[in-house]
Structure 1
Amino acid sequence: MRSPVAAVPSPATDRLGRSDIRTLALAALGGALEFYDFVVFVFLALPLSELFFPKGTSPWLAQLQVYGIFAAGYLARPLGGIVMAHYGDLLGRKRMFTLSVFLMALPTLLIGLLPVYAQIGILAPVLLLVLRVLQGIAVGGEVPGAWVFVAEHVPARRVGIACASLTSGLTVGILIGSLLTAAIHERMTPAQLLDYGWRLPFLAGGVFGFIAVWLRRWLRETPVFEAMQARRALADELPLKRVLREHRGAVLRSMAVTWTLTAAIVVVILMTPTLVQAVFHLPAATAFLGNSLASFALAIGCLAFGAAADRFGVARTLAGGAVLMTLATGALYLDLQCGAAHFLPLYALAGFTVGVVGVVPTVMVDAFPPAVRFSGLSFSYNVAYAVFGGITPPLIGALVKGLGSLAPAYYVALAALAAVGVAMGLRTGGRVAEKRRG
């Protein structure tokens, strides 16, 4: 059963109007640029480790410290998400939607302008850490806020494709970051990269982010929030307090599907290129070509699964997509174990099936009533992502040692099972509600 997301019906309630399409396009563009700003940091970990720590630091320790700063952005996400969601439920979605992209653009630009360790000493990594935390706060508010924003703008029967288009845009941001940093590494000498090349992706991201801020000026507040304002139906207490008191089941469901999303993205998209080199001994060029194909397929898959959710229902699409993702990931890792004869097409197929994560925000949007939707979704998503995003990489490393090279596929299958369980609950709840109405 789907809760009514769009509160203001229109004569063409099942169609996306020109205003809806413009809103989706601007939201997806801003999301892509903001996620690019967030992930480009990890693509430049090596030059950052050389520039922001003392010359005598061993390479592995310097990289570990840079990855620690990168992880700090994830740990800051719940704080940013909770605070921005609080004001988004009380003051308006649009204000926080614009603020989040500004808070991402500014620190990204400043990272590109930072003095390095040779210039200001220990202050360099400290400033890098502070700016990374600000990025984490921004993305913690951006992703949940964007999902709520687009879901409340479109007709109720088009929420699936709306949320999926935004998720697809986030994926494009990862792909842009990967391709741009690969091009810089290819066209520049190591000396040029350390001199000024590493700054270019951050400077570009900052400029593009401010363009996104300007573009979001043309967006209007969501009809759902405006209707709540008119009816004086906004939350009359701390929204998160109400979420934890009245909607614990929705929080648990949202955290469960966030685990599925985290496992799919972290294992299949982010970790597999490293695993295929370290465990299966594929060349780096082949690994990253496969990753580019998988990321592109993921962007398309998000749209396909989002459209399917509107056509066939969220529960069926989520369950079916989770099963397909399990099978495709298993086939990919079995092929790798047998010599990787079909690595590229199977990785692309696995990336496409990971597009089922495009259905996850629809599940979470539907789980909470409008008055506390932003807070409920943001708390559930950011806390679960911080926990599972933090434990997944070391856990996969331990599982590979203990269970063998198919361990990543086993983990994805286990996380997919959580999505199937949520889908079954949604279908059962829908049937119960229909009997009550009858």
Structure 2
Amino acid sequence: MNTGQAAVEHNKPPAKAIAAAVAGNALEFYDFIIYSFFAVYIAQSFFPTGDKYTSLLASVAVFGVGFFTRPLGGVLIGAYADKKGRRAAMILTVTLITIGTLGLAATPSYESIGIAAPIIVLFARLVQGLALGGEVGPASAMLIESAPPNQRAFYASWQMASQGIAVAVGGIVGYLVSAQLSLEQLASWGWRIPFLVSLALIPIAVYIRRALPETLEEPTYHNDAEMLTIIFTRYKKEVILGIMVLMATAITAQVGNYMTTFAINTLKFDPKIAQVCTILGGLMMFLFSLLAGLLADKYGRKSIMLWPRVALMLLIVPMLYLLVKTESVAMLLLVTMMVTLLTGMTGASSLVAIPEMMPIALRATGVSIVYAIGVTLFGGTAQFVLTWLIEHFGAISMAYYVVGTSILSIIAILMMPETRHVNVKD
């Protein structure tokens, strides 16, 4: 083995350290998105307006509120990761997500404590958003900084793949809960079970994250204001392009998550069937995110970002039309599968290209800001917008929302540089 190869092997972290980062990330996303899977029942517990549509709209609006603390989390925790290290920031985010999850799992219903119930739920969502806003930047930075140069996209693809794991596990837990309980039990207390499962696992995530390798050797900046000034001046173009790319990814990811609510509320499917499509979607995102990482290492980042996005833009309208027309379980599963696997591919390749555009000294902060803003503005409003569009213009209208934002994302991808050969240690 030559000196260069030895250096790579010496710097390469053990597989268990990467698994620790992925496990913590998956757990945090599970906590965040499980809310959307049980939005119908959460609406009944905390937002009893007397009108089912208004209650659901209030519930998904509070789901969206969790996105609006993401930019703050991105700035604060991202900057902390660039000053104190990736490991410390990633332990902090798991701790915060614990607080948010406990708030959701333990809060009594509106019937029990009145207006305090939705206020506590709102606070819990804000804390969860703060944690996730600061999670993606440090985790993505650590993954690409740990990887051998020719495997960076595969390592980074575990960021998106872990979100697929979270969706799949959430779907499995949701299916088991839905299969064992009646609709009355689900609405009364059964929806809390997935959050309690998460709380039991969080201490393990905190423990294993302490074993993560530190990839930031020496911080360059110690002043948050200076870091932000440099990011929004010297790297302004990179920030704007990154936000435009993640915009469509955030929306289509939420379309995939929303299929559970759509199947129950609009298509009137049994909740157990809706949870099956969630499991399938998570598995597709997991598998095809990793495939995208392998392909991006071989063929470059831009093509793997571009072509799945183009395919989804062309397919989404006819797929949703056929789903609404046939109201078949098979079509529901096909739509979910295609949306999630294509989103996983373009998302995974984006989450390596965007960090590679940023210097190591500002990488966690920069990626956190790009991710938080892109996901806040579009992912955070997606479920509210989708619910409103379906109510006023029919189910097909959400497909055109995907098409419009995909066009803007494609333009941004074409303007981005190819980053496969950049030195991420600079």
**Which interval holds the TM-score relative to the shorter structure?**
0.7 to 0.9
2:405 pairs with 415, 420, 423, which one? 415
1:323 pairs with 306, 310, 314, which one? 310
Q: Secondary structure at the match of 2:251?
A: helix
1 CA distance for matches of 2:234 and 2:98? Answer: 36
Instruction: Provide the residue aligned with 2:208 in structure 1.
Output: 215
2:413 maps to amino acid: A
What are the superposed Cα offsets for residues 374-424 of structure 1, whole Å, 9 maximum, x if unpaired?
Answer: 111111211121111244345556766898754444433333333432332
Instruction: Provide the residue aligned with 1:5 in structure 2.
Output: none
2 CA distance for matches of 1:148 and 1:23? Answer: 14
- Uncovered stretches (5+) of structure 2, i.e. residues with no partner: none
Q: How far apart are residue 251 of structure 1 and its match?
A: 0.6
1:289 maps to amino acid: V
1 CA distance for matches of 2:243 and 2:378? Answer: 10
Cα 1:281–1:67 change in 2 (3 A) is closer
Q: How far apart are residue 52 of structure 1 and its match?
A: 3.5
Contact 2:75 2:365 in 1 (8 A): yes
Instruction: Provide the residue aligned with 2:238 in structure 1.
Output: 250
Q: How far apart are residue 100 of structure 1 and its match?
A: 0.1
Instruction: Provide the residue aligned with 1:166 in structure 2.
Output: 159
What are the superposed Cα offsets for residues 118-140 of structure 1, whole Å, 9 maximum, x if unpaired?
Answer: 44333232222222211111111
Normalization by structure 1: what TM-score? 0.83
Q: How far apart are residue 148 of structure 1 and its match?
A: 1.5
Query: Is 1:34 the counterpart of 2:22 in the alignment?
Result: no
Instruction: Provide the residue aligned with 1:389 in structure 2.
Output: 379
Normalization by structure 2: what TM-score? 0.85
Equivalence map 1:235-314=2 (5 Å): 238-267=226-255, 269-275=256-262, 288-314=275-301
Range that drifts further, 186-195 or 163-172: 186-195
2:295 maps to amino acid: A
2 CA distance for matches of 1:209 and 1:155? Answer: 30
Equivalence map 1:72-111=2 (5 Å): 72-111=65-104
2 CA distance for matches of 1:126 and 1:272? Answer: 27
Instruction: Provide the residue aligned with 1:368 in structure 2.
Output: 358
Equivalence map 1:312-351=2 (5 Å): 312-336=299-323, 339=326, 343=331, 344-345=333-334, 347-351=336-340
Equivalence map 1:140-219=2 (5 Å): 140-190=133-183, 192-193=185-186, 196-219=189-212
2 CA distance for matches of 1:201 and 1:50? Answer: 17
1 CA distance for matches of 2:237 and 2:193? Answer: 45
Cα 1:426–1:71 change in 2 (3 A) is closer
Instruction: Provide the residue aligned with 1:3 in structure 2.
Output: none
Instruction: Provide the residue aligned with 2:58 in structure 1.
Output: 65
CA RMSD, Structure 1 to Structure 2 (Å)? 3.3
Q: How far apart are residue 241 of structure 1 and its match?
A: 1.7
Contact 1:168 1:298 in 2 (8 A): yes
Aligned length: 416
- The percent of aligned pairs where both chains have the same amino acid is 25
Contact 2:259 2:336 in 1 (8 A): no
Instruction: Provide the residue aligned with 1:354 in structure 2.
Output: 343
Cα 1:424–1:164 change in 2 (3 A) is same
Range that drifts further, 239-248 or 102-111: 102-111
Q: Secondary structure at the match of 1:376?
A: helix
Equivalence map 1:398-413=2 (5 Å): 406-413=396-403
1:320 maps to amino acid: W
Contact 1:160 1:310 in 2 (8 A): yes
Query: Is 1:19 the counterpart of 2:9 in the alignment?
Result: no
Range that drifts further, 93-102 or 202-211: 202-211
Larger Cα-atom Rg = 1
2:168 maps to amino acid: L
1 CA distance for matches of 2:369 and 2:62? Answer: 22
Contact 1:140 1:382 in 2 (8 A): yes
Cα 1:308–1:331 change in 2 (3 A) is farther
Range that drifts further, 280-289 or 194-203: 280-289
Q: Secondary structure at the match of 1:19?
A: coil
Contact 1:53 1:122 in 2 (8 A): no
Q: How far apart are residue 260 of structure 1 and its match?
A: 2.0
Q: How far apart are residue 314 of structure 1 and its match?
A: 0.5
What are the superposed Cα offsets for residues 97-151 of structure 1, whole Å, 9 maximum, x if unpaired?
Answer: 1100111023313432333344433323222222221111111111222112212
Q: How far apart are residue 248 of structure 1 and its match?
A: 0.5
Query: Is 1:425 the counterpart of 2:415 in the alignment?
Result: yes
1:385 maps to amino acid: V
Q: Secondary structure at the match of 2:231?
A: helix
